[in-house]
Structures are given as structure tokens and as C-alpha cells.
Amino acid sequence: MTVNGCSPAIHSYLSIRGTLHAMSKLITVFGATGQQGGSVIRSILQDDILSKEFKIRGITRDTSKPAAQALLKQGVELVSADMNSKESLVKAIQGSHSVFLVTTPAWGVAGSDAELVHGKNVADVAKESDVQHLIFSSLLDVTKETAGRLKHVPHFDQKAQVEQYIRSIGVPATFILPGYFMGNYTSFGMLRKGDDGVYTLAYPIGQDSQFPLIDIASDMGKFVAASLKLRSETLGAQILAAAEYYTATRILAEYEEVTGRKTQFMQIDPETYKSFIPGPMGEEMLENHLFIEKPGYYNGRSLKESQDLLKKAGFQATSWKSFLEENKSTL
């Protein structure tokens, strides 16, 4: 008897070799101990296909921290590296088929280009190491999209500059642009309880501004997993990682529905808004929100194509209401 023209012994040898070969792809995940990288690792480990296709290497500056040790227990290889040091990145990236990259700003340090430097360092080493798929957590260039009207949002602009750099040096890449984190409302105390028991959401923009919301810890990994599964389709593309556009009105209405709390929206003037946030971050957050109001977080682009891609890969984004229900005990 033959199977596909081979004897059973040869066939089983070939299929074991095939499985081992498929298993031998390595994905290196930056920010492994954080929200986005953590989400990417969970999505791969939970996926029947990707968990067999990829071995995971998680990057941290401190392998002894609890979040890193928890990854080790799940079979993730841990490598210590700092995006400031190209030397450490060589060891971190070597042998990787794919890389997930998230960069973080040096919040509050005026004029810092740390995020741009980190992104370029990883891109350069990915190029030298012949990485086949770099998945970068990007955002739009606010200065360019507004023709210079808003030029103090470096945590958007520098990500867009890293994206341009990756494109310019020709690393095969997909760009995933995460929306506004749902957790901003629940973890950053953005909904403040007043003496009258009413929760106030204060923004320097109108109540009908559109926020593309994402449950980052749960859903960033789904978008990354979709781009790993549909690599050739997503190379060079920008994926808008958000469940839906929500107005502040709807955000509060659904918050009331799930929690039973009373809420109110308050539009405050820019100077008052800035006075709540010390240092250069005040200006940055103000302009960030003015950008969301006009021309929009994704400059008015529809989320349909990205949602279709997510569905095609077998995933579904978490709604704001589900997020609130799941996190109700911590609110």
C-alpha cells in the first residue's frame, strides 16, 4: 500500500518531518510582559494552528520579573534585550521568522525621540536577520494628517515614522494600528465619581467625537494572529485594530447600562484640560484628542476591511459592553 505514492513508513516519516518543520518557525514578541505583547502571546498559545506553527520568544529587559516568569511557565522562551542596544537585539531577533514589535514613548520627556530610535533599531536588526514578517504596532502621523495644525503628538508621529522606515528598508511587514484602549476609561480613572455619586467624563472635545475602541489585552493578539494566518494578504497593509467607532454618548450610555451608575459628559476648554495633566503630556493629550475630533483617530477611515479580515481568520472583536461586563468586578 502507498499513501500519496509513498510507503506508509516513508509517509509517516515525512509527516513527522513536516510537523517538526512547521514547528520550527520562531516568533519573537517585544513587549511580552506588557498589554500588547502579552495579548499576542496568549492569542498564539490559544490558537490550534499558530500554537503548532510557532515557537515563541518573549523579550523583556528583566527576565526575573513576575510577568516574565509567568511566560516561562507557559513554555515561552525568554530573552533579555533593550531596544536601546542594537547588540542585545541581535541575540533577541536571530533565527526569527516573525517579529511582533510594540514601542513605548518616553512619556513626559520633552523632545525625546526614544520611540523612533527603538523602532529603527529593531527594524535594522530584523532586516539584517532576514526576518520574513515584522508586525509593527503603528499609528498615524498627526502632524502630516493635519498639515501641521497639530504637531505635538510624538507618540503617534514617531510610530508612523518607524512604519515609514520599515517600508523604506524593505522588511516584509504588516502595520497594525490599535484603536483607543477601552482600559483608558477603567484603569486611568477617566470616569471620576463626584460628591453627588455621578461619574463625569471630561474631554476637551465634543460628545459626538468618534473613538475606535479596542480591548487591547484581549484583542490586539487577535489582529496579530489574523495577520500571521493571512500573511501574504496583509503584507504592506495597515490594519485598523478596533471593534467599532463609539461616540462618548454611547460609551457613557452603555457604561450606565452595565454598571447601574449615573454618568455625565463635560466638555471643558483646552486650558483647563491641560491643567489636569502636568508637563508636556498636557499639550500632547490635548492635541491627541483634538485629532480624534477632527479629522478622526484614523482620519475617517472605515473599520470594515479590518473587521472582515479578523472574521476571515476566525476571530471576533470584543465590544465595549462585553468588556465592561467582563471587568465589572474591578470597576
Applying CB under 6 A, the residues found at the interface with ligand NAP are 30-37, 59-62, 82-84, 102-105, 118, 139, 155, 178, 180-181, 184
- Please list, residue by residue across 149-186, b when 16 or more beta carbons sit within 10 angstroms of its beta carbon and e when fewer do: ebebbbbbbbbbbbbebbeeeebbbbbbbbbbbbbebb
Which has the closest alpha carbon to 36: 106, 109, 137? 137
Q: Which is nearer to ligand NAP, 84 or 302 (CB)?
A: 84
CB of 37 to ligand NAP, least distance (A): 5
CB of 106 to ligand NAP, least distance (A): 9
CB of 179 to ligand NAP, least distance (A): 7
CB of 110 to ligand NAP, least distance (A): 16
Q: Which is nearer to ligand NAP, 53 or 83 (CB)?
A: 83
How many Å apart are CA 29 and CA 205, to the nearest integer? 36
How many Å apart are CA 138 and CA 227, to the nearest integer? 14
Q: Which is nearer to ligand NAP, 103 or 307 (CB)?
A: 103
Q: Which is nearer to ligand NAP, 105 or 282 (CB)?
A: 105
Q: Which is nearer to ligand NAP, 180 or 199 (CB)?
A: 180
CB of 141 to ligand NAP, least distance (A): 14
How many Å apart are CA 22 and CA 17, to the nearest integer? 8
Q: Which residue is nearest to ligand NAP (CB)?
A: 34
Assigned C-alpha cell, 161: 515614522
CA 302 to chain centroid: 18
How many Å apart are CA 310 and CA 312, to the nearest integer? 5
Which has the closest alpha carbon to 248: 219, 279, 299, 211? 211
Q: Which is nearer to ligand NAP, 31 or 282 (CB)?
A: 31
Assigned C-alpha cell, 176: 497594525
CB of 327 to ligand NAP, least distance (A): 16
- Please list, residue by residue across 286-299, b when 16 or more beta carbons sit within 10 angstroms of its beta carbon and e when fewer do: bbbbbbbeebbbbe
Q: Which is nearer to ligand NAP, 30 or 203 (CB)?
A: 30
CB of 309 to ligand NAP, least distance (A): 19
Asked whether the beta carbons of 291 and 156 are under 8 A apart, the reply is yes
